Amino acid sequence: MTDGAVEADEIRPPAAVPPRLTRRGIPTDPNLRVLALGTFVNRAGTGASTTTFALFFTQKVGLSATDIGLVLSVASVLAMLAQVPLGHLGDTRGPRETMRALTIAAGTVLMGLLVARSLWAVMAVMALSTVLFSGNAAVRNGYIARVATGGRGVMFKAYLRAVTNVAMSLGAALGGLALLVDETWAYLAVFALDGVSGILTGLLCSRLPHLAPAPARAAGEPRLAVLRDRPFVVVTLLNGVVAMHFVVMTLAIPLWIAAHTQAPTSMVAVLLVLNTVVVALFQVRLSRGRDDVMASARAMVVGCAWIAVGFVVISFSSDTSAVVAVVLLVLGAAVHVVGEMISSGGQWGISMGLAPEQRQGQYQGFAGLGFSLSNVVAPTLITLLCIEWGRPGWWVLGGLVLGAGALLVPVSRWALRTR
């Protein structure tokens, strides 16, 4: 190359400006509006039911806390096993039709909570509804990857996460009213609301455009090609390691505050509200620029670094006065949620960018396995590290998250070479 010359492969066309995602907080694309409305309706019902489920079936029905734990564990394991096959079903049968059928069926099954009074009846209802909703999530994520074009896929996922936080909060408030009334009819009204919200969400799918199913498999092509895609499997496992940080807010923080700090236990609620509000306000903004796989992988490193620093700050809240502990907890949680938002956008960009367009359902279903496995492994590991070991355990956990995020850069580059 002569001085001042430019190599041909360095010339890049001007980047296309993606269509505006929202106007006044509402998606400009009518299809994305339908998906957002369905998410809001569905998650509001989920928030109400989640708030009341355990208390109703222990205090009013007489099941033990161990029974409730068993029900939720069985439902989670079955959902984890079903999400890839159901995602594949969406690819082959048509994602809109599959979403509609799965969500209406899940809402209908949830109505069984109105009459379930034995352990096995409750387990059957929760297991089947969780499997159906999990499969719907896989199909929906694949549908989003196909319709939110022009660099809007990650941005819309970020928007949906903000919508989910708002809806869950409103639903939890409705559930709180049922707890305040503390009558059987109030709890049953919440469960009915959750079931109806699922049915309505499924009916809303009828307003979405039909997408052509995936073409027939070529001779010798495996039914679930994602299981043979080794780079994507490794990406999913690494994302699962990173996703352990979500369990910190719901498990480690409450136990840490109670056992290792002088801060009041009410700080648990304060930090959860802080997380919810910040995500609702800033998730979309901090997910910009995740339009390709490598940009998303690099964002994962940045996000994981923020998470690790947040863990270090939180770890120093022990052995201090109550005031100092509160300040460090708020600061650490604030740093953590920044990393949470950045890394979430990176994860969506990688998983959607690496998946073949006609196989998005099964690929997004498999991507969800990383989070499912994290929910199985993380509670025990985090308890051992952060609660039993104490301050050094927070540092080790931060190191694990940061290490997994850093590895996503070379692994994503490997995955791109195999596309």
Among residues 155, 214, 244, the alpha carbon closest in space to that of 355 is found at 214
**Beta-bridge partner residues of 23:** 26
Cβ-contact 393, 383 below 8 angstroms: no
- pLDDT, residue 220, reads 58
Instruction: Count how many Cα atoms sit within 13 Å of the Cα of residue 342 in the half-sphere of its side chain.
Output: 20
Torsion, Cα of 404, 410, 412, 414 (10° steps): -140
| Contact (Cβ atoms closer than 8 angstroms) between residue 414 and residue 231 | yes
Host H or E run for residue 22 = strand 22-23
23 pLDDT above the threshold of 90 = no
Chain mean position to CA 35: 16
User: How many residues belong to the chain?
Assistant: 419
CA neighbor of 147 nearest in space, from 133, 137, 157, 135? 157
Q: Range with the lowest mean pLDDT among 81-85, 146-150, 161-165? A: 146-150
Neighbours of 2 (CB within 10 A): 4
Pair 169, 276: CB distance under 8 Å: yes
Distance separating alpha carbons of residues 351 and 360, to the nearest angstrom = 9
pLDDT value of position 394: 97
All domains of the chain in start order, with CATH:
28-207 (1.20.1250.20), 225-417 (1.20.1250.20)
Helix axes 391-417, 293-315, angle to 10 degrees: 180
Task: Grade residue 196 by pLDDT with cuts at 50, 70 and 90.
Answer: very high
pLDDT-derived band at 51, boundaries 50, 70, 90: confident
Report the predicted TM-score, pTM, of the whole model to 2 decimal places. Answer: 0.81
- As a whole number of angstroms, the distance between CA 140 and CA 99 comes to 7
Chain position carrying tokens 């339908």? 34
